[in-house]
Amino acid sequence: MQTLKRNILAVPIVVWIGLLVGVPLLFVFVLSFLSRDSLGNIVVQFTLENYQRVFDPIYLRVFLNSLLLALLTGILTLVVGYPVAYITSNLEPKKRALSIGLIMLPFWISSLLRTYGWMILLGNAGIINNVLRALGVIDAPLSMMYKFSTTLIGTAYMLVPFMIVAIFNSVDKLDRSLLEASYDLGANKRQTFFNITLPLTIPGIAGGFTLVFIPALGLFYVSDLLGGGNTIFLGNLINTQVTRGRNRPLAAAFSMAMIVVAILVISLYGRVAKDDREGLFQ
């Protein structure tokens, strides 16, 4: 009873999450063991066939393809995001608020629209090609669309704010006296960064990586639009099976496999950040 009283304020959120995350997740889990009939209707009959199909060599390659995209997205957002986060946290308070505001601003616009924005920018008749042609730099349009790299850029663009904010928090918390001590002991800026700042912000990097990696596994419309559907990711596979494929149990099995990967990544993060009292999930 004591516990209940103390945690009473947490009840709404527990109900909310239980209802909108817990229950559907349970449905997906159960669904992944069910069969379907020839009309695509779900039949309550236990089967492991869906999971067998997940381990089909072709579908495993789709998994690897998604993991590769997520990994590269993590690296790209880290390379782009770290300097932004580092510089932002060293700004004076007013400018810093402005900078954070600008980083979050794109979230005010639908991500689908922003993806279309990239198409307008990169297309054969897009802004970049038109400008380069008008300047006489190129004769024929550069082909920048419908490649793996286009998908990567689009996905990284979509997720980079998460990386920046996670690292920003980490750099911001940094005990400045440690940096002063480092300078006092004769280290230059570079040495201080690599020996003090970087190691101390690893939990932030790991947190940002987790926040970027997991959604990158599932974003399917970016590869449909920017990648021109020329390759296939886990999100595409699940999307097709839920809709036109009419095989929701198989889609559920793929989703469970994806959740397992996500849990692995989160537990890996837990290890890296276990000493960080104010990490993502504390």
Partner 1 sequence: MKNRRFSLVIGILVIALLAVVVVRYVNRGEEAPGEVNLMTWGGDFIPRAIIEEFEKETGIKVNYKEVTSNEDMQSLLEASPDQYDLAVTTDYMVDILRQSDMLAVLDKSKIPNYANINPVYHGAYYDPNDQYSIPYAISISFLLVNPEGVESLGARPITSYGDMWQEELVNNIVLIDWSVEIMGLVLKSLGYEYNETDPVKVAEAREKLFALKPNIKRFETNTPEDSLVNGEAVIGFMYSNQAVKGQQARPNLQPVFPTEGMPIYIDSWVMSKQAPNKDGAYKFLDFIMRPEIAARIADMTKFTSPNKAAEAHLPADFKNNPMLNLADEVVENTSFYIGVDRVLDEYEHIYSEFKLR
Residue with tokens 């957002």: 77
- The tokens for 220 are 């399917």
Contact 121, 127 (CB under 8 A): yes
Span between the terminal Cα atoms of the chain, in Å: 24
Q: Rounded to an integer, what distance in angstroms lies between the CA atom of residue 221 and that of residue 229?
A: 9
* CA separation, residue 121 to residues 77, 134, 142, 259 (Å): 20, 15, 12, 34
Q: Nearest to residue 203, comparing CAs of 181, 171, 162, 179?
A: 171
Binding of partner 1 by 5 (CB under 8 A): no
* CA separation, residue 181 to residues 116, 175, 196, 278 (Å): 49, 10, 10, 23
Within residues 186-215, the interface with partner 1 by CB under 8 A covers none
Q: Residue 130 CB, nearest distance to partner 1 (Å)?
A: 11
Q: Residue 103 CB, nearest distance to partner 1 (Å)?
A: 31
Binding of partner 1 by 124 (CB under 8 A): yes
Q: Residue 71 CB, nearest distance to partner 1 (Å)?
A: 17
Q: Residue 261 CB, nearest distance to partner 1 (Å)?
A: 18
Binding of partner 1 by 117 (CB under 8 A): no
Q: Rounded to an integer, what distance in angstroms lies between the CA atom of residue 237 and that of residue 226?
A: 17
Binding of partner 1 by 62 (CB under 8 A): yes
Question: Could you tell me how many residues of this chain bind partner 1 (CB under 8 A)?
Answer: 40
Binding of partner 1 by 230 (CB under 8 A): yes
Rule CB under 8 A: choose which of 24, 55, 56, 98 binds partner 1: 56
Among residues 108 and 281, whose Cβ is nearest to partner 1? 281
Rule CB under 8 A: choose which of 31, 32, 54, 59 binds partner 1: 59
Q: Nearest to residue 32, comparing CAs of 258, 274, 265?
A: 258
Binding of partner 1 by 22 (CB under 8 A): yes
Q: Which residues bind partner 1 (CB under 8 A)?
A: 3-4, 11, 14-15, 18-19, 22-23, 38-41, 56, 58-59, 61-62, 65, 123-125, 143, 145-146, 224, 228-232, 237, 240-247
